């Protein structure tokens, strides 16, 4: 066992010390990623898969923000609001420092406010993902029922739903409803988070501006 490990370490060291060896490792990793993308069964249209497969052009280090921006669900004003609330959190007063309330209440409400501010954009991202997957489900449903139009002998058209031989045949109907409900549920949750933040954060002018503009620039792309 010791000889095997030593040999392996020696091989890795030689590979990393050689530029061509490093390039070979990078190529192998890139190939594995490409094969993973091709083999993964993403529940989205090829159009969205191609878009999400393109390398990031955003230089920001925050992966979440870059992803949110790519799918069109980022809300800069909500992030500004979130950062403003986070900056007001104080370790000595255990919460929002300028709140004149008992410590236990300050801890609870400050955490709630922080989580709600963070949830504005997160819920919009979930809504957009539901929407993108719903587009794929809708296309597959359209393809499934495309041949459902029949014609009577007199030429009058009628619709005959494709037969369901197994539960898998009815899954697409359930998935369509799931994503529709999930979309509106996520939108509602984002508005709930926004509504929870406004009463307290609105005491500061910059926070009120962020909240009000967040409703517009966050929901318009969706």
10-40 tens-digit pLDDT: 454 455 555 565 555 545 555 544 444 444 5
pLDDT tens digits for 156-177? 888 887 888 899 888 988 999 9
Residue 209 structure tokens: 């501006």
* 140 within 8 A of 132, measured Cβ to Cβ: no
* 102 within 8 A of 93, measured Cβ to Cβ: no
> If we measure between CA atoms, which residue out of 68, 48, 62 comes closest to residue 221?
68
Q: Within the chain, which residues score under 50 in pLDDT?
A: 1-6, 8-10, 12-13, 26, 32-39, 202, 205-216, 218-219
- Predicted model pTM: 0.69
What's the length of the chain? 222
| Domain definitions of the chain by residue range | 1-40, 44-219
């Amino acid at each position: 066992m010791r000889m095997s490990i030593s040999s392996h370490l020696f091989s890795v060291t030689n590979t990393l010390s050689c530029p061509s060896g490093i390039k070979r490792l990078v190529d192998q990793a890139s190939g594995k990623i490409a094969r993973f993308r091709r083999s993964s069964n993403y529940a989205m249209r090829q159009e969205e898969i191609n878009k999400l497969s393109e390398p990031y052009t955003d230089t920001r280090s925050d992966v979440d923000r870059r992803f949110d921006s790519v799918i069109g669900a980022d809300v800069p004003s909500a992030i500004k609001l979130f950062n403003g609330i986070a900056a007001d959190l104080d370790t000595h007063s255990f919460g929002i420092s300028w709140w004149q309330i008992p410590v236990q209440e300050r801890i609870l409400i400050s955490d709630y406010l922080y989580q709600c501010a963070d949830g504005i954009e997160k819920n919009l991202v979930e809504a957009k993902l539901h929407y993108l997957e719903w587009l794929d489900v809708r296309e597959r449903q359209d393809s499934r029922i495309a041949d459902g139009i029949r014609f009577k002998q007199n030429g009058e058209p009628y619709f005959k739903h494709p037969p369901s031989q197994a539960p898998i045949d009815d899954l697409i109907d359930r998935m369509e409803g799931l994503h529709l409900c999930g979309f509106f549920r996520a939108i509602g949750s984002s508005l709930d988070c926004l509504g929870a933040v406004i009463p307290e954060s609105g005491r500061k002018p910059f926070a009120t501006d962020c909240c009000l503009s967040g409703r517009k620039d966050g929901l318009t792309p969706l």
